[in-house]
A and B are shown apart, each in its own frame.
Chain A
């Protein structure tokens, strides 16, 4: 944190202390992971929603479950086709189909398991976005506080409180807060978007579970 430190980002980074650099490293890793999760989940959730919608269209069109199961093979990434397939496999595996109560119970259990698995699959890695969104500003703030502490120590050593002595240190320290916000803002936005979409899918899974059971039993 020299007095002659420039105003550029690179010079500010080279002028920062080790703690600030460590904080910046963590925040950059957080940011990279957040963007990777956002990209991954955005693609998978969007595909799942699209395939679920397509499967629902064919579900209302085709009344035969065997044909539905055959068409569900085309929607392997969709959540609703996955649940339907799990229920159909359970239905097919039962030899005694004369006891409807037992049949309904076993199919509903199989559907519930698959809904849980699907929910787990959809929400996988998403909480990390919330963690980044909540902690990154504070981690950045920690770096800033540490940087300001160091800069004040340097001011004491320089025996000068002029703007030229104070400003570079503070500006170097503030880069940590800025990085924290850069990491946190997309993470929070991505988290909100993904939780909203995943919530929609989960509601669809819960709504259409009984419909699937009725379709098997009315076969």
Chain B
């Protein structure tokens, strides 16, 4: 047998093996498809549960279902205005105790106003009698200023008092007693704003209940600051300030609720 014949024979065998291999491949593919169909029949597909890995924990996930979606949405809307206008919500929270307490300063202011007006009329009479118009005019102006300042304080207090505002106007000391205790607390407050990362939103609304003898019986946080350092410093200042001066008789014999706003800038009523 020549080499050429041998090569031809080998080519023939090779061709035959190619055919067998091709058939084998086709058989493997067909078998795998059949096996897959059989597997699909014997093992029905499991229920697919979609889990979103991106959604934040607080937000409603797909597991919660679409029905739960509208519910959480109003919640942030309600919460949103609170940081923007910090003062209005605070009085609302302390409405019940404040209404009863705030009536006392308003009545006191009215009484004081009456007294001042009486004093004014007396002074006018004296001025007429003595005809010292210049001095009387100065005195009248001073008294009017005093009355006006007290009147505006009372007006504001009653305004916020409608909502039960414990926290008076930020500026000005409308009430001598409150101003006095505010000074005491301010002096006892040990706080450094440099220890805060940011002063934004750093406000602590605190209402304290003062017994007639001046003892602070209760401290209530109407709103806390994000910084625990500030919150604790407020608590320490109030504890250190107790007992405060005794409540004047004008406020009555009952305990008094007073509200303070602690900010890194200082204490205000």
**Contacts from A to B (Cβ < 8 Å):** 8-10, 28, 31-33, 35-37, 39-40, 44, 76, 117, 121, 124-125
Contacts and interface: CB of A to CB of B under 8 A. Distances in A.
Interface residues of B, number: 18
B177 interface: no
Contacts of A8: 33, 36, 40
A177 to B, nearest CB: 17
B62 to A, nearest CB: 11
Task: Name the residue among A8, A35, A36, A39 with the largest chain B CB count within 10 angstroms.
Answer: A36
Given A40-B13, A76-B1, A10 B25 contact: no
Interface in B18-41: 18, 20-22, 24-25, 29, 32-33, 36, 40
B229 interface: no
A29 B19 CA distance: 11
A28 B36 CA distance: 20
B36 A32 contact: no
A189 to B, nearest CB: 15
A36 B1 contact: no
A145 to B, nearest CB: 24
Interface of B: 1, 3, 6, 10, 13-14, 17-18, 20-22, 24-25, 29, 32-33, 36, 40
A33 B36 contact: no
Contact of A33 (B13, B21, B29): B21
A73 B124 CA distance: 156
Contacts of B21: 31-33, 35-36, 39
A121 B9 CA distance: 13
B45 to A, nearest CB: 9
Nearest to A35: B21
A125 B10 CA distance: 11
A125 B21 CA distance: 16
Contacts of B33: 8-10
A124 B1 CA distance: 19
A125 B1 contact: no
Contact of B32 (A9, A35, A39, A124): A9
Contacts of A117: 3
A39 B20 contact: yes
A165 to B, nearest CB: 13
A202 to B, nearest CB: 19
B25 A39 contact: no
B22 A32 contact: yes
Contacts of B32: 9
Nearest to A31: B25
A28 B18 contact: no
Given A35-B24, A39-B20, 17 more contacts: A8-B40, A9-B29, A9-B33, A9-B36, A32-B18, A32-B25, A33-B18, A36-B17, A36-B21, A37-B14, A37-B17, A39-B17, A40-B10, A40-B13, A40-B17, A121-B6, A125-B14
Task: Name the residue among A9, A76, A117 with the largest chain B CB count within 10 angstroms.
Answer: A9
Contacts of A37: 14, 17
A216 B227 CA distance: 107
B14 A36 contact: yes
Nearest to A124: B10
Task: Name the residue among B10, B21, B22 with the largest chain A CB count within 10 angstroms.
Answer: B21
A4 to B, nearest CB: 13
B96 to A, nearest CB: 52
A10 B21 CA distance: 20
Contacts of A28: 25
B264 to A, nearest CB: 45
Contacts of B36: 8-9
B25 A36 contact: no
Contacts of B22: 32
Contacts of B40: 8
A39 B33 CA distance: 25
A44 B6 CA distance: 12
5 contacts: A8-B40, A31-B21, A36-B17, A39-B17, A40-B13
A117 B32 CA distance: 43
A151 B33 CA distance: 24
Nearest to B19: A36
Contacts of A40: 10, 13-14, 17
Nearest to A43: B13
A128 B40 CA distance: 39
Task: Name the residue among A9, A31, A39 with the largest chain B CB count within 10 angstroms.
Answer: A39
Contacts of B29: 9
